[in-house]
């Protein structure tokens, strides 16, 4: 059994991660850190976990936790992990960071978009971007894994085959993404209140959402040249889920056959990607799973492809992908402790 710990365990992403680790066949959940609930049992904060995880929450102490655990997950706001992680910690413990601090390879891009100082720039070269399906060989050898964001996971996985196979005009990519309210985290904010979100639908972060450079960084790597996208996130009145609708102009000679062949080439053997062809995914098709569902349509009138991806933002977009990365890193079956299909399809 591998000893695991979570710092930031009582937020939505952290709690989802704890629930997955508590039921993982190869993990002994050893340490849970919390800023707000020290001394309380995890199951007193989340009563649904009674009997499954009754660990007492401790002070957030990465130094001490790294001596007790073989893998430590950080579910913290941006700007905090870079102040905590050190080379010495990485020599004795695998760190999987669910925040943004190690996702961007260029520290100036991080500073520009997050308006925050990065205090461990020297570790950026050691960090691996943990998009499991695309970075598997690197993840398997890394001690610092940067878990991708929820919007970025959905957008990149949906677009990767089209970009990598050079089937679309890179300058034409537009991404409209919709998230459930848990994407805002478990904090008291007026715009996250039920009365503010229910029976409403809105765009936010228009032109300046912080996941934009992350998407561009990974699509540029796949394309082998700089790729810029137009990314617009939206908030929907649902608890969890991401739906990304991606538009791009097709290269000459590209049609549905070439699109389908590209997706099959990249994802046919992936257990956590469900290719739906010209059927289109919905968030309820992947709720409570680690699966990304992808479908697409070609519009012959406009010569565009419309590719649509859906995932659960707290699982494949956060805690589930973190567990998937851990499974890869420690040589477990990649699906250990993770669901790929919806238990109740309604």
Closest CA to 148 of 327, 334, 338, 316: 316
The pLDDT of residue 82 is 95
Give the separation between CA 4 and CA 53, rounded to whole angstroms.
13
The pLDDT of residue 292 is 98
Intra-chain end-to-end CA distance of the chain, in Å: 36
DSSP label at residue 289 = S
DSSP label at residue 345 = -
Q: Which of 53, 93, 150, 197 is catalytic?
A: 150
Q: Domains in the chain and their CATH numbers?
A: 2-126 (3.40.50.720), 151-311 (3.30.360.10)
The pLDDT of residue 183 is 86
Specify burial of residue 344 (Cβ count, 10 A radius: 0-12, 13-18, 19+): exposed
CB atoms within 10 A of CB 295: 21
Within 8 A by CB and 6+ apart from 243, the residues are 154, 177, 178, 281, 282, 283, 308, 309, 310
DSSP label at residue 57 = P
- DSSP-assigned states of every residue in 188-214: --GGGSHHHHTT--EE-STTT-TTHHH
Q: Are 185 and 177 in contact (CB under 8 A)?
A: no
Per-residue pLDDT of the chain (346 residues; tens, 9 = 90+): 999 999 999 999 999 999 999 999 999 999 999 988 999 999 999 999 999 999 999 999 999 999 999 999 999 999 999 999 999 999 999 999 999 999 999 999 999 999 999 999 999 999 999 999 999 999 999 999 999 999 999 999 999 999 999 999 999 999 999 999 998 777 778 888 888 889 999 999 999 999 999 999 999 999 999 999 999 999 999 999 999 999 999 999 999 999 999 999 999 999 999 999 999 999 999 999 999 999 999 999 999 999 999 999 999 999 999 999 999 999 999 999 999 998 777 6
Give the separation between CA 142 and CA 148, rounded to whole angstroms.
15
Quote the longest CA-to-CA distance of the chain: 63
Q: Is the pTM of this model over 0.85?
A: yes
- Give yes or no: 195 in active site: no
Q: Are 296 and 274 in contact (CB under 8 A)?
A: no
Closest CA to 174 of 223, 113, 220, 215: 215
Strand pairing report for 202-203 and 242-249: unpaired
Q: Are 153 and 119 in contact (CB under 8 A)?
A: no
The pLDDT of residue 262 is 98
Closest CA to 151 of 228, 213, 242: 242
Residue 168: φ, ψ to 5°: -130, 160
């Amino acid at each position: 059994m591998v000893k695991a710990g979570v710092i930031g365990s009582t937020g939505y992403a952290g709690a989802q991660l704890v629930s997955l680790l508590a039921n993982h066949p190869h993990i002994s959940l050893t340490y849970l850190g919390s800023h707000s609930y020290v001394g309380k049992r995890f199951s007193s904060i989340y009563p649904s976990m009674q009997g499954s995880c009754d660990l007492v929450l401790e002070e957030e102490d990465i130094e001490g936790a790294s001596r007790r655990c073989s893998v430590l997950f950080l579910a913290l706001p941006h700007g905090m992990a870079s102040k905590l992680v050190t080379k010495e910690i990485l020599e004795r413990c695998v760190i999987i960071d669910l925040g943004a601090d190690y996702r961007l390879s260029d520290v100036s891009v991080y500073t520009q978009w997050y308006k925050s100082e990065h205090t461990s720039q020297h570790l950026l070269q050691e960090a691996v971007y943990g998009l499991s399906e695309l970075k598997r060989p690197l993840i398997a050898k890394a001690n610092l894994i940067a878990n991708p964001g929820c919007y970025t996971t959905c957008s990149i996985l949906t677009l990767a085959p089209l970009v990598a196979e050079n089937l679309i005009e890179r300058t034409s990519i537009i991404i409209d993404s919709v998230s459930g309210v848990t994407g805002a985290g478990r904090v008291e904010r007026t715009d996250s209140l039920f009365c503010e979100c229910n029976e409403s639908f809105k765009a936010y972060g228009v032109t300046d959402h912080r996941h934009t450079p992350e998407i561009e960084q990974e699509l540029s790597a796949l394309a082998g040249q700089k790729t810029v996208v137009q990314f617009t996130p939206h908030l929907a009145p649902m608890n969890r889920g991401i739906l990304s609708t991606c538009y791009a102009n097709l290269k000459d000679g590209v049609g549905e056959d070439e699109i389908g062949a590209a997706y099959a080439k990249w994802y046919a053997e992936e257990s956590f990607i469900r290719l739906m062809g010209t059927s289109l995914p919905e968030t309820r098709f992947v709720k409570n799973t680690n699966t990304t569902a992808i479908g697409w349509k070609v519009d012959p009138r406009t010569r565009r492809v419309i590719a649509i991806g859906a995932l659960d933002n707290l699982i494949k977009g956060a805690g589930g992908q973190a567990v998937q990365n851990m499974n890869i890193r420690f040589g477990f079956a990649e699906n250990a402790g993770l669901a790929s299909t919806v238990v109740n399809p309604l």
